[in-house]
Amino acid sequence: MKQIFERLFGRKPAPIKVQLVSSSILTLEQWRKDPSLVMAAKRLESDSTYQMALAVLQNSHPCHTLFAPMGVNPNDRIVHQAKIEGYELALNNFAALSTSFKSLKSLEATFQPLK
């Protein structure tokens, strides 16, 4: 392959250079697969200011906001439940940043009777 490249372009191919991707396209799964990023998140978790910031976020969780028992529109309850779920997902994702991703082996169907 290198020889074909050299014949076509008259030079050797440039070495492959690894680039960090923009954080705007980095996913949680990609983060968790990078040991250096996981270690950075673990260091951040040990910081007392970060711990206090997370405690403030947990104290501000929408689940602590209660509606009056009567006179609330069902749509308002639906929206409130969606906020709770989204907030909980965000807090869980913060916690997941410091946990390595362990890939799971996919199951293959054997179609054999159970023993």
- pLDDT digit string (tens) for 48-97? 999 999 999 999 999 998 877 677 888 888 999 999 999 999 999 999 99
Q: Would 13 be classed as within a structural domain?
A: no
Report the domain count for the chain: 1
What is the C-alpha separation between 26 and 17, in angstroms, rounded? 18
Q: Would 10 be classed as within a structural domain?
A: no
Look at the pTM and tell me if it is higher than 0.95: no
pLDDT at residue 66, rounded to an integer = 80
What is the C-alpha separation between 30 and 37, in angstroms, rounded? 10
Q: Would 114 be classed as within a structural domain?
A: no
Segment 37-55, tens digit of pLDDT:
999 999 999 999 999 999 9
pLDDT at residue 73, rounded to an integer = 86
Q: Would 110 be classed as within a structural domain?
A: no
Q: Would 107 be classed as within a structural domain?
A: no
Q: Would 61 be classed as within a structural domain?
A: yes
* Closest C-alpha to 34, from 51, 10, 46, 18: 18
Q: Would 14 be classed as within a structural domain?
A: no
Q: Would 6 be classed as within a structural domain?
A: no
Domain residues for the domain of 49 are 27-65+72-100
